Structure 1
Amino acid sequence: MTPDNQRSPDVLPLFDALIPVTATIALLILAVALFGADAAWGPAQVVLLIGTMIAACFGLKNGHSWKSIESGFADGIYVAIPAMLILLTIGALIGVWILAGTVPAMIYYGLELVSPSYFYASCCLLCALVALSIGSSWSVAGTIGLGLVGIAEGFGLSLPITAGAIISGAYFGDKMSPLSDTTNIAPAAVGADLFEHIRHMSWTTLPSLGLALVGFVVLGLDGSAAMSTPEQIVVMREGLAAQFDLGPQLLIPVLVLLGLSIARMPALPAVFIGATLGVIFALVFQPHAVLTLIGADAATTTDLVKGVWTALFDGYVSHSGNDNIDVLLTKGGMSSMLTTLWLVISAMAFGGVIERLGMLQRLVAALVAGANSAGSLIIRCVLTCFASNLVTGDQYLSVTLPGRMYRAEFQRRGLKPVNLSRATEDGGTITSPLIPWNSCGAYMAATLGVATLSYLPFAFFNLINVALAIGYAMFGIRITRIEENEKALVQEIRPAEGEAS
C-alpha cells in the first residue's frame, strides 16, 4: 500500500468521496432551515465538525491512519492562521476607527452623496462607501439601507429598485473592503495575499459598479429631481456631528491604509499600522468619545488608555439615541471576529481532511473533466460557488469549500491563487443575496421589506459582476499565471508539505 500522503485520488471510490460531502451539505441545508440567518453563528460549525468526523470514518475505511487524518485537518487550519490573525487585527481596527471618528466621518461626508436628482444611483454610491468603511453589507442594509427604503416609500419611488441599489452598493463595498470577513476568508482559503486579491478583484468589480450606476441613473430619470434633502439624512448627519468632533483630517488613516495597499505592504502589518493610527487619532481628536465609551468622567491618562484598549478588544458601543446610528456604529473589536474565526477553523478543518484523504481531488476530477482551458476551469469554479450558495444557504461556505476544492487544480495549471480567490467571490459572495433561502437573501428581504425575487432584477452590480466574471474567463481576460520563480517555490513547498505529513 502506498503511504497516506502519496495515495492516488483514483484509489478512493467516488461513492466514498461523495458521502461525507453530501451528508455535510444535507445537514447544512437542515441548519439553515432550522436557524435561518443565524446558521453561521454556531449550527454550521457543528455540521462541519460532524462532516469532518464522517470523512474521517471513510478515511479509516480506506486504509488511512488516524495520524494522517489528524494532520489533514491540522494542515487545513494551519494555512488559515495568517488570515485569522488579520481578522483579529481588523476587528481591533474597526473598533478604534469608529472611536477615532474615522468611520463616522466617512459616513457623514458620504451622506452628502444622496442626490435627490439621482436617487437610485446615489443610494448605490452611499451604500458602497459606507460598506467600504465598515466591511459589512448586513450593517449597511440594516441601517442606512432601511432609512433609504423609508425615503423612497415616502416619495413614491420604486422599492424593488431602491433595494436593488442598496444591495448593489453594499455588496460592492463588502467585496472590496479589506475590513470584510469574506474578503479575508477568500484569499486565506486559497493561499493568496489579501491586497493582491483586492487588486485582482477590481478588474471585474469596478466595471460592474460603473455599469450598475449607469443603469440606476437611467431608471432614475423619471421626475425625482424635485425632491429636497430628506429629513432622515439631515437627522443622521446631525447625530454623527453631535457624537464626534468631525473633520477631513479623520480620513487620514484611510488614506494611509490605501497607500500601504498600493505599496504592496503585507496585510497584517498594514492593518496593524492602520489600527495604531486609529488609537492615536482617538486620543488626539476624540477624548470625550473615549471617556464616554467606558463611562469615565475625568480625562485621566489611565481612563484614556483603558478607553482605546476597550475599543481594540471589545469594539465601540454607540449611545447617540438614534437607532440607525447606534446599530451602525456599535461594532468592532477582536471579540467581534470570534464567531467568524470559529467558522473558518471548522470549514478549513473539514476541507483539510477531505483534501488529505483524496476526497476533494476525486470530486474535483469529476467537476473539471472536459475543462481544457483556464477560462473553462474558472467558469466551473464560479458556477460551483453559486451552486454551493444554492444548496448550503451560506456565503462563507460558498467561498471556503470551493476554494479548497479547486486550489490544487489551479496550481497544477500554473494559475495564480488570486484567479481562484476572485472566482470564489464572484460566484459566492456576490450571488448570496440573490437566493431567497440563502441566509443573505433572507436577511436582505426581511430587513428591507422587499422580496428577494422582487429586487433581484435590479441588483445590477451583482448580476453584472457574475456576467463579467464569466465573460472575462471565456475570453481569457485578466487571467494571471504563476511566474517561473514562483513555480520553483511551489515545487519546493510541495515536498516539504509531504514530509511534514
Structure 2
Amino acid sequence: MVELIILAVFCVALFASLLTGAPLLYALAFGLVLFAGYGVRCCGLRETLKMCWNGVKTARGILLLFVLLGLLTSMWRAAGTIPTVVSFAVELIRPEIFVLLTFVLNSAMSLLTGTALGTAATMGVICATIGRSMGMDGVSDSAWIGGAVLAGVYFGNRISPISSMALLTAGITKTDIYQNIRDMVRTTWLPFLMSCVVYFAAGMNVDVIAGVAGASGVVGASGVPNVVELFAKDFSLSLWSLMPAAVIVVLSVARVRTSLVLLWSSASAFVLALVIENQTFIDLLKSIIFGYKTTVPEIAKMVNGGGLLSTVNVFLIVVIAGCCGGIFKGTSLLQPVKSRIEKMSQNTNPFVATLACASLVSCVVCNQTLTIILTNQMTENLGAKNQALNLYDTAVTVIALVPWSVATVIVLNAVQAPNSAVLCACFLYLVPVCRVMVGLCGKKGGVNGDFF
C-alpha cells in the first residue's frame, strides 16, 4: 500500500509540473527524494546510495552520447553542414508533402544509423530548419513537424539492426536480432503506411506563410524560400561542408560505435569550420560550450544553437532517472504493480498487459533503457509467445510518447517543437494500436491474437 501511495504522489507531481509549466527537474528531484526515502527505510542509507550509483552507471553510455550530441550540433552549424544540406534539400521540397517527407527522411536516417538521438540532431534539425524557413513556425505546424520527426527517429531506433535499444532488447530476451527484425516487419508495415497517409493529409492542410525568408524578400518557387541567398551571407555552402554528414553515414553503415561516429563527425566539422568557414579556434571553442551564433540576424532562428550547455538540462534528467531506476531494481517498490500486471494478462493477453506495464513504467522512470529492462522484468513470466516482439512494440516506442521522458525531451528540444508534438507522432501510436486490434480480431475468430 505504501508503494502505491509513493508512486501515486510522484505521478501527481509530474502532472502538476506539466500543468503549471514548472521545470520538470523539480518534479523528478521530488520523486527521487520520495524513492530514496523508501529505499533508506527498507535497506538503509548506504545501500540506497549504492542503488542510485548502479542506476547512474547503467545510463553512462547515454550521458556520453548527450555530451557528444551537444558537440555535434554546434560543429555542424559552425562548419556550414546544416545550411548546405538545407540549401540543397529545399529545392526539392514542396510544402504540401513536407510533413510526409519529414517522416520518411527521418525514418530512413534512423534505420540507417540505428540512433534516434543522432537522427534527431541531424536529419531532424535539418527538416525542422527547412520547415521554419518556409514559414511553418506556428504551433500547429511545429507540432506536426515535431511529431513526424519524433515518429521517424524512433522508427529506426526500434527496427534497425545497429540500434542499441534493439540490441538491448534482443540481449535481455536472449533472442536473435535478425529474427526479431523479421518479426517486427510483420507488425510495422501497416502502421507505417497508415502514418504516411496521415502525414500526407496533414501536410495538405499546413499553413505555409512567407516566414523568416519572406520577410527578407527571398522566396523561391512554390512558396519555398530561396535560403541559399540567406545562408550565403554567413557560410560558403561548399560541398566540403557535407563531409561530416558523409562521415555519419559511412561509419554507421560500417557499424562503428555510435559515440565514435558522433565524435569523428564532430572532429571533421571542427576542421572544416577552421579551413572552409574561416572560423577562429577561440570562436569554435565558444561554440562548443555555448552553441553556435551567427552574425546574420535573418538566419539566427535557423542555425543558432547546439553546444554543451544545451545538454545540461537533459543530462540532469538522465542522472535522476538513473538513480530512480536503480532504486526500483533494488527494492520492492514496483512489486504491487507487477502483481496487477499479471492479473491483467490473465484477463486479456500478454501483449495488452505488457503495453500497460510499459506505459506506466515509462511515465515513472522517464528513460528508454530502464523502461525496456523493467518492463521485461515485470512481464517475462506472462507466457507471451514472443516476448521480444512485445517489448519492441511497447517499451521501445511508448517511452517516446511521454512528454517528460528523456527520449522525448531530447528530440523535441533538438527540433524546437512543442510538447503537443507527441500527439502527432502517429507511427508510435499505431504500432501498439494495430497489435491490440489484431489481437481482438484474432480472439473473436478463435485465434490467439498475441502475435501478428
TM-score by length of 1: 0.64
Deviation (angstroms), 1:214:
3.8
Aligned to 1:27: 13
Residue 2 of structure 2 is aligned to residue 16 of structure 1? yes
| Mapping for residues 235-274 of structure 1, pairs under 5 Å | 235-274=226-265
Q: 1:314 aligns with which of 285, 290, 300?
A: 290
Partner of 1:316: helix, strand, or coil?
A: coil
Q: 1:359 aligns with which of 333, 338, 345?
A: 333
Aligned to 1:342: 316
Contact residue 426 and residue 469 of structure 1 kept, 8 A:
no
Deviation (angstroms), 1:83:
1.5
> Which letter maps to 1:80?
A
Aligned to 2:79: 100
Q: 1:467 aligns with which of 430, 433, 445?
A: 433
Deviation (angstroms), 1:423:
3.1
> Which letter maps to 2:15?
I
Aligned to 2:443: none
Aligned to 2:302: 328
The 1:137/1:466 distance shift into structure 2, 3 A limit, reads: farther
Aligned to 1:275: 266
What is the RMSD computed on CA atoms of the aligned residues?
4.9
| Mapping for residues 82-101 of structure 1, pairs under 5 Å | 82-101=61-80
2:242 & 2:283 partners in 1: Cα distance? 21
1:187 & 1:339 partners in 2: Cα distance? 26
1:164 & 1:462 partners in 2: Cα distance? 15
1:338 & 1:282 partners in 2: Cα distance? 24
Deviation (angstroms), 1:431:
6.2
Contact residue 126 and residue 169 of structure 1 kept, 8 A:
no
Contact residue 97 and residue 275 of structure 1 kept, 8 A:
yes
Contact residue 111 and residue 126 of structure 1 kept, 8 A:
no
1:73 & 1:176 partners in 2: Cα distance? 31
Aligned to 1:408: 377
1:279 & 1:472 partners in 2: Cα distance? 50
Contact residue 375 and residue 395 of structure 2 kept, 8 A:
no
- How many percent identity over aligned positions? 16
Partner of 1:359: helix, strand, or coil?
A: coil
2:264 & 2:389 partners in 1: Cα distance? 24
2:251 & 2:234 partners in 1: Cα distance? 30
Unaligned regions of 5+ residues in structure 1, if any?
1-14, 154-158, 292-303, 478-501
Deviation (angstroms), 1:88:
0.8
Aligned to 1:74: 53
Deviation (angstroms), 1:96:
0.9
1:141 & 1:253 partners in 2: Cα distance? 17
The 1:230/1:334 distance shift into structure 2, 3 A limit, reads: same
1:209 & 1:241 partners in 2: Cα distance? 37
Unaligned regions of 5+ residues in structure 2, if any?
110-116, 211-218, 440-448
Aligned to 2:30: 47
After superposition, give the CA deviation of every residue in 1:380-434 in whole Å (9 maximum; x if it has no partner).
Answer: 4444454578x77xxx82746634532434677998989747633421314649x
| Mapping for residues 388-403 of structure 1, pairs under 5 Å | 397=366, 399=368, 402-403=371-372
Contact residue 106 and residue 251 of structure 1 kept, 8 A:
yes
| Mapping for residues 38-437 of structure 1, pairs under 5 Å | 39-40=23-24, 42-59=25-42, 64-115=43-94, 118=97, 121-122=100-101, 134-135=120-121, 144-145=130-131, 165-175=144-154, 208-217=191-200, 229=220, 233-287=224-278, 290-291=279-280, 304=281, 306-322=282-298, 325-369=299-343, 371=345, 377=350, 379-386=352-359, 397=366, 399=368, 402-403=371-372, 405-409=374-378, 420=391, 423-430=394-401, 432=403
Contact residue 355 and residue 395 of structure 2 kept, 8 A:
yes
> Which letter maps to 1:405?
L
TM-score by length of 2: 0.70
The 1:100/1:399 distance shift into structure 2, 3 A limit, reads: same
Deviation (angstroms), 1:338:
1.5
1:379 & 1:135 partners in 2: Cα distance? 33
1:33 & 1:114 partners in 2: Cα distance? 37
Deviation (angstroms), 1:109:
2.4
After superposition, give the CA deviation of every residue in 1:326-373 in whole Å (9 maximum; x if it has no partner).
Answer: 23322222222111111111111112112211223442343244548x
1:127 & 1:266 partners in 2: Cα distance? 20
